[in-house]
Structure 1
């Protein structure tokens, strides 16, 4: 049985388009700088403070990382410390990219920031 807190990238993308999600990226700053999902907020797992996550009534908090492992850890910590409902994006940004969804990245050849489409 799947966990309802494990969201697939397409569901997160659709919720972002509707403004229903507050996406929290728990990767490290260098990872975030190289590639990120448009609109995600950075709260690295290495310095994670569940109470620093902004409460936003009407928007579901969804954690995201590179593969889904760190975001699940952040979700578990957030649930334990706050009791507030949240979810995480299964498969992380890797699954997001595999699904063909847009992201912001650094072009390694030029160093330019490229926004590959918004939601």
Structure 2
């Protein structure tokens, strides 16, 4: 099992672009639906099962939430279950937005999905 690390938004962006990671968003479905990082998969912490994470591929698993707290909790659950995760996005999607990186959002006026910063 590798040692999990805190990754910056730039680290996560670069690794996503290089297709080196699978980003797992552990926020609840409503949070994920309203705003998410491109390519992130939703595995809510409220029903989180480390054994259900995609495994065995060439891409490392990185966890992400709103601020970093829930993804750290999910990392601990993975460690206890013997499931290897490479780390988490330090500061969560809040840090991602603060770094002016793009997200997918739902326009509340129209319901349309759009890219945003």
Indicate whether the TM-score tops 0.5: yes
How many residues end up aligned between the 2 structures?
A: 115
Question: Aligned residue for 1:29?
Answer: 29
Question: Aligned residue for 2:112?
Answer: 112
Unaligned runs of 5+ in 2: none
Q: Residue by residue, what CA displacement relative to the aligned partner does 1:12-46 show, whole Å, maximum 9, x if unpaired?
A: 00000000010000000000000001111100000
Unaligned runs of 5+ in 1: none
Task: Let me know the Cα RMSD of the aligned residues.
Answer: 1.7
TM-score by length of 2: 0.91
Is contact 2:22–2:40 with CA below 8 Å preserved after alignment? yes
Is contact 2:4–2:88 with CA below 8 Å preserved after alignment? no
State the Cα distance separating 1:116 from its structure 2 match: 3.8
Is contact 2:4–2:86 with CA below 8 Å preserved after alignment? no
Alignment of 1:1-119 (within 5 A): 5-116=5-116
What SS does structure 1 have at the residue aligned with 2:79? helix
Is contact 2:45–2:70 with CA below 8 Å preserved after alignment? yes
Q: State the distance in 2 between where 1:45 and 1:99 align.
A: 25
